[in-house]
Amino acid sequence: MKPVFLKFSLYDFSEWIKSIHQWLIELAGPTIGHLLGLALVGTCFLLFTALLGLSVVYIERKVCAFFQQRLGPMRVGPYGTAQTVADIIKLLFKEPTMTKESDKFLFMLAPFIIMIAPFMVLAAIPFAKGLHVMDLNIGLFFILAVSSIGVTGILLAGWSSNNKYSLIGAMRSGAQIVSYELSVALSLLTIVVLTGSLQLSEIVASQADGWWIFKGNFPAIVAFIVFTIASTAETNRGPFDMAEAESEITAGFHTEYSGIKFAFFFLAEYVNLFIVSAVAATVFFGGWMPLHIGNIEFFNNAMDLIPPIVWFFMKIAVIMFLVMWFKWTFPRLRIDQLLTLEWKYLLPISVVNLLLMSFIALKGWHF
């Protein structure tokens, strides 16, 4: 049996993943090998989300400090790099409190439901060529459907806490997420019209000769802008964080949570930020495809030397910075302004933009 690592390639993970799967089957048999493979994938996702939460929280604190002309966390570790680790340790040892009249079962269940949706969505995202868990032919539809599960956890958290502020925050969040999901779906369908497929690997492959943000004409740019605004609102991030408005309703739906349960809500926000950026990078910016400019062979060949997974994470980093910039620049909207923005502006723009893209695709006017 050949060692698995001999088939590893940073440019194509297909053979490496297949060799690991084959090795597990030969080691423990088909059934146990398959279960071991699922356990390995789950462990990788757990480690990935933990590291993602630690790193993105630190990065956002530094980005926030930059915009506010200060230093941010500096005391724990070099330049404050261990501050998030210290925060996690504090949350792990903090007492998990619960109000006397709360619905204990639903109160305990809500944080886990919040975390289920991001894990399911991550399974459908192609990180590089051959590096994805599920390559569904309805991948984009699956992401839209599964991402809606999170609002159930938020509503359960607000209602089960037996706290009026928590309930108000949960109802705000529910109305906000359900509303902005429409614009998110329509902006993604605008690109689906061009690709003719909901399969994420096919959407990435269709951008081998250019990213849709460049070759999809004006409607692709409008769709990306709408997607960025709507997905920021859907993840309850500023300036659309009315569900957690500290000046009005303390901390919203997670007011009564502490310790590790609060950490789940906190982690889910940053995992969702990563997912939103990953979907935008996949649909609008070619996923793991490198940047190519026309027939400039020297430039294109140089771009091909950068591994696909590096391309993917660079695109995600740029989009995440854009969303953070968005949060720390604009003031928080009122709840009426929030819903007005969606129903009176973004939704009509998305519908018209989808019709325009359909006409362009029908006439073949895209690049």
Give 195-213 pLDDT, tens digit per residue: 888 999 899 988 888 888 9
Looking at residue 243, what is its pLDDT? Answer: 63
Query: Can you count the helices (H) and strands (E) in the chain?
Result: 16, 0
pLDDT value at 249 more than 80 = no
> Is the per-residue pLDDT at 226 higher than 70?
yes
pLDDT, tens digit, for every residue of 164-174? 888 888 888 88
Give whole-number Cα distances, 204 to 190, 278, 308, 312, in Å: 15, 12, 11, 11
Spell out the domain ranges in the chain: 1-93, 102-363
- For position 320, what pLDDT does the model report? 93
Rounded Cα distance between 31 and 135, Å, is 21
pLDDT at 189: 93
Q: At what angle do helices 104-122 and 150-160 cross, to 10 degrees?
A: 160
Q: What is the pLDDT of residue 6?
A: 52
Residue 251: band (very low, low, confident or very high) from pLDDT cuts 50, 70, 90 = low
Neighbours of 117 (CB within 10 A): 23
Q: Which residues contact 341 (CB under 8 A, 6 or more apart)?
A: 229, 233, 333
Task: Please say whether the beta carbons of 169 and 244 come within 8 A.
Answer: yes
Residue in 132, 173, 137, 175 with CA at minimum distance from that of residue 343: 175
Give the confidence band of 244 by pLDDT, cuts at 50, 70, 90.
Answer: low
Contacts of 60 (CB under 8 A, 6+ apart): 270, 324
What's the pLDDT score for residue 278?
Answer: 94
Longest dimension (CA), the chain: 68
Burial class (CB in 10 A: 0-12, 13-18, 19+), 92: exposed
- Gyration radius of the chain's alpha carbons: 22
Q: Kindly report the CA angle at 231 between 330 and 287, in degrees rounded to 5?
A: 115
CA-angle at 248, arms to 243 and 252, nearest 5°: 35
Report pTM: 0.90
C-alpha distance from residue 186 to each of 5, 179, 200, 367 (Å): 42, 12, 16, 21
Q: What is the pLDDT of residue 315?
A: 95
Cβ neighbours of residue 279 closer than 8 Å, sequence gap 6 or more? 125, 143, 188, 231
Mean pLDDT of the residues in the chain? 86
> Does residue 5 or residue 295 have the better pLDDT?
295
Tens digits of residue pLDDT in 293-339: 877 888 888 888 889 999 999 999 999 999 999 888 888 888 888 88
Q: What pLDDT does residue 362 have? A: 85
Q: How far apart are CA 167 and CA 186, in angstroms?
A: 29
pLDDT in the model for residue 63:
92
Across-strand partners of 131? 128
Q: Which residues pair with 128 in a beta bridge?
A: 131
Is 7's pLDDT higher than 80? no
Tell me what pLDDT residue 262 has.
Answer: 85
Q: What is the pLDDT of residues 173-193, one digit of tens each?
A: 888 888 899 999 999 999 999
Q: Count Cβ atoms within 10 A of the Cβ of residue 51 and give its class: 0-12 exposed, 13-18 middle, 19 or more buried.
A: exposed
Range 340-354 average pLDDT: 93
Confidence of residue 354 (pLDDT cuts 50, 70, 90): very high
In this prediction, residue 276 carries a pLDDT of 92
Position 5 pLDDT exceeds 70: no
How far is it, in rounded angstroms, from Cα 208 to Cα 88?
41
Whether the per-residue pLDDT at 30 is higher than 60: the answer is yes
* pLDDT(237) > 90: no
Q: 358: exposed, middle or buried (C-beta count within 10 Å: 0-12, 13-18, 19+)? A: middle
Residue 1 has pLDDT above 70, yes or no: no
Residue 234: pLDDT over 70 = yes
Q: What is the pLDDT of residue 353?
A: 94
Predicted confidence band of residue 119 (pLDDT cuts 50, 70, 90): confident
Q: Token pair of 176, please? A: 């906000």
By the 8 A CB rule, do 63 and 325 touch? yes
Tens digits of per-residue pLDDT, 120-146? 898 899 998 888 888 888 889 999 888
Q: Which residues contact 42 (CB under 8 A, 6 or more apart)?
A: none
Percentage of the chain modeled with pLDDT above 70: 95
Instruction: For residues 103-121, give the mean pLDDT.
Output: 88
Q: What pLDDT does 250 receive? A: 65
